[in-house]
Amino acid sequence: TNVCITLFPILLCVLLVLLQGAIDREIDKPKYRCGCACVDAAADGSCRRTECGVQHSTLDQVASCPIPTPPRWPALVQLPTPEARAISTASQPFDGLPGQTCRDAGSCPAAFLVTGANRSLAESLSGQLFPALSSPLNFTDYLGALSKIVPGSDTTPESRQLLEPAFTPGNTLYIVQPQCRSNLSQTVSVNAGIIPLRLG
């Protein structure tokens, strides 16, 4: 038994070394490394400068690339999807909530619950939360424009490289307003750094 007790740590170390070797071999595969390419070949065929990045990577490799200058996104508030927005029901009979019909039409407004002992004070304070928009937004300076108002999104934040799903084509970027306005729809197409922004 003394021999066993002495040998056990050694056995453990050997196992760890073997495991480390296997893991190193696995993550060293090209699939897990950012793609690189020679961008400046010398006349004799040797490479003077190698460049690595998303532009030289396959879809498998992209996730391993560093992103030195990611595009900047404004802060968004999370909104419920149209079918999950509050409506007035028997168990939830608050004033001011819309009925079931808007849920069928997918046009329910997003309701915000404001509480306070002094109703007039609560109303005047919460009235300042979502600045009303007077003119169509100028998206040339999209960060500035979207920072002066409250943009929102009902997409699920995912671990997508670089991209907030609300800014990918086919998704909606909401502008939170005190009153819904149907004439505010705007289709946007601008470039945020390397990424084209297309909002519809």
Ligand X SMILES: *[C@@H]1O[C@H](CO)[C@@H](O)[C@H](O)[C@H]1NC(C)=O
Q: Considering CB under 6 A, how many residues would be counted as binding ligand X?
A: 9
Stretch that binds ligand X, among 22-30, 55-63, 116-124, 160-168 (CB under 6 A): 116-124
Q: Does residue 148 belong to the site contacting ligand X (CB under 6 A)?
A: no
Among 84, 121, 143, 194, contact with ligand X (rule: CB under 6 A): 121
In which region does residue 158 sit, left (phi positive, over 0), alpha (psi from -120 to 50) or beta (all else)? Answer: beta
User: Residue 103 is inside which H or E element, if any?
Assistant: helix 100-105
Cβ 121 to ligand X shortest distance, Å: 4
Q: Does residue 160 belong to the site contacting ligand X (CB under 6 A)?
A: no
Q: Does residue 185 belong to the site contacting ligand X (CB under 6 A)?
A: no
Whole-angstrom distance, CA of residue 184 vs CA of residue 168: 20
Whole-angstrom distance, CA of residue 86 vs CA of residue 98: 8
Q: Does residue 138 belong to the site contacting ligand X (CB under 6 A)?
A: yes
Neighbours of 152 (CB within 10 A): 19
Cβ 130 to ligand X shortest distance, Å: 15
Edge-to-edge order in the sheet of strand 77-78: 77-78, 151-153, 174-175
Q: Which residue ranges make up the site for ligand X (CB under 6 A)? A: 118, 120-121, 124, 138, 140-141, 181, 183
